[in-house]
Structure 1
Amino acid sequence: MTDPIPVLFIHGLWLHSSSWQPWIDLFQQEGYAPSAPGWPGDPDTVEEARQNPESIADHGIDDVVEHYAAIVRGMESLPILVGHSFGGMIAQKLLGQDLALAAVAVDAAQIKGVLPLPLSALRSTLPVFKNPANKHRAVSLTAEQFRFAFGNAISQEESDALFEQWTIPAPGKPLFEAAAANFNPHSPAKVETENSGRGPLLLMSGGKDHTVPETVTRATLKQYRRSEAVTEFMTFPDRGHSLTVDGGWREVADQALAWLRRQDLDTAR
């Protein structure tokens, strides 16, 4: 019997990698070999991350990409990548570099070339941008800020529970880099969108997402128009940025699994 296909889950800002555990359990049941390594500097637990924000601070997009690229290069076979928010951007960059079989990018952060900048996205990231010094710091959200950025499509009670369970400080640097992407020809937010030899990509979007509104994801899809590789879009009209961790996570995960099956990426090799 051959080994199962590995799957790497990549978290975004403000959520700990352990928030992927329900997805890991499901993908394992479906015959994959899943794991969710954290970003560089991420402590092993939510509590440790909250107590040691300096370990997370000042890591930029390139640092995170190289961190996961090194993990991939140490694997016996290329993985499928599933990323949320900035993890979705990281997954796209690695896929564009031919370091993945396929990628699922859920509410992925804005890549270079994407122009829409909705007001809700600006408000969601204001806790970082209100102080330029935050570029080199780790920034935490309040429960109220998390409610707007992540939990606006769920109840206040569920949003507060997710905030308590999964949130950690996040480095401000990736947000500053993404914000300046369209003014920097060498931006780390640049993705190889014209690569026609890469594996398939699924862009998923929450229709009520404040942090990465659907207009941003649709604009991201257009960036791939010159690639002949499979690039597909899927929306969940009533979901917000918390869609990977809230009570409706299973619907998103099931759709990702169904899409992987359609790409013939559901069997052990």
Structure 2
Amino acid sequence: MTPAIPVVFIHGLWIHSDAWQPWVELYASAGYDPIAPGWPGDSGTAAQTRANAAGVANKGIDEITNGYFDVIRGLPAAPIVIGHSFGGLIAQKLLAAGVAAAAIAIDPGQIKGVRPLPLAQIRSALPVLSKPGNKKRAVALTRKQFRYGFGNAISATESGELFDRFAIPGPGRPLFEASVANFKKSSPAAVDTKRSDRGPLLILGGGQDHTVPAVVAQAAQKLYSGSGAVTDYQVFPDRGHSLVLDHGWREIADYTLSWLRRQGL
């Protein structure tokens, strides 16, 4: 019997890994071996992470990526990595490093080389970037900020429920690192987009996303155009940044499973 392919789900800023649980259950039922480990410093639940915000403070892109390298080293085979938001940036770094069999980046954080910077994205990042001291702190969104950045395409009631269940403080450092990536020769937000011998990559965008507007996700896909490796893009026009955890998550999950089957995975 062929062993099940490991799948590693990677959450983004401000969302606890528990939000992946429906995906974990769906992928397990589809024959994969999925896990959803948190970022370095995360606690076991959203409530515990909120109570220990200092645990996630001052963690940068490299530290978070290395945490997932450690996870992958303990797996029996190279996994499929599926990341949302900054988790999508991390997933791309893992794929480019050759430790993942394939990657799916959903509303992925901005990698070095992406040029568009829509006003909605700037507004979503302001709770962190407006105060330089936040680079070393953990920053939590307010309910209103979560509504704008994540829940703008769903009802206010559902946005509030998702905030209560899954919102956690996140380190400010990754946003600062990504925001200046294009002005630095070397950046932790850099990804080798020219590598031709990597596994397939799927980038998904949400047409109503304020935190990572679809134009940003599509611009990332275009950076891979010369690699020759499979790099697909799909936009969901009516979806916001909450697309992996709100009531419509199954549409996105089913699309990812169909894409993986097309890749023979």
Specify the code of the residue in structure 1 equivalent to 2:125: T
Q: How big is the shift at 1:2?
A: 2.4
Alignment RMSD (CA, Å): 0.5
The secondary structure found in structure 1 opposite 2:175 is helix
The secondary structure found in structure 2 opposite 1:147 is helix
Counterpart of 2:144? 144
Counterpart of 1:75? 75
Note the 1:11-26 alignment, pairs <5 A: 11-26=11-26
Specify the code of the residue in structure 2 equivalent to 1:37: P
| Aligned mates of 1:177, 1:84 — CA distance in 2 | 18
The secondary structure found in structure 2 opposite 1:34 is strand
Counterpart of 1:62? 62
Counterpart of 1:158? 158
Counterpart of 1:29? 29
| Aligned mates of 2:26, 2:210 — CA distance in 1 | 27
Q: How big is the shift at 1:76?
A: 1.4
Counterpart of 1:9? 9
Q: How big is the shift at 1:71?
A: 1.2
The secondary structure found in structure 2 opposite 1:232 is strand
Counterpart of 2:251? 251
For residues 152-191 of structure 1, what are the alpha-carbon distances to aligned partners after superposition, in whole Å with 9 as ceiling and x for unaligned? 0000000000000100000000000000100111100000
Q: How big is the shift at 1:9?
A: 0.1
Runs of 5+ unmatched residues, structure 1: none
Runs of 5+ unmatched residues, structure 2: none
| Aligned mates of 2:204, 2:2 — CA distance in 1 | 30
For residues 6-60 of structure 1, what are the alpha-carbon distances to aligned partners after superposition, in whole Å with 9 as ceiling and x for unaligned? 0000000000011100000000000000000000010011111000000000000
Specify the code of the residue in structure 1 equivalent to 2:26: L
Q: TM-score, with normalisation over the residues of structure 1?
A: 0.98
Counterpart of 1:109? 109
For residues 71-110 of structure 1, what are the alpha-carbon distances to aligned partners after superposition, in whole Å with 9 as ceiling and x for unaligned? 1122110000000000000000000011100001000000
| Aligned mates of 1:129, 1:217 — CA distance in 2 | 21
- 1:203 paired to 2:203: yes
The secondary structure found in structure 1 opposite 2:58 is coil
The secondary structure found in structure 2 opposite 1:3 is coil
Q: TM-score, with normalisation over the residues of structure 2?
A: 0.99
| Structure 1 segments (4+ residues) deviating >2 Å | none
Stretch deviating more after TM superposition (217-226 or 80-89): 217-226
Specify the code of the residue in structure 2 equivalent to 1:3: P
| Aligned mates of 1:48, 1:171 — CA distance in 2 | 16
The secondary structure found in structure 1 opposite 2:247 is coil
Specify the code of the residue in structure 2 equivalent to 1:219: A
Counterpart of 1:42? 42
- 1:221 paired to 2:221: yes
Q: How big is the shift at 1:62?
A: 0.3
Aligned length: 265
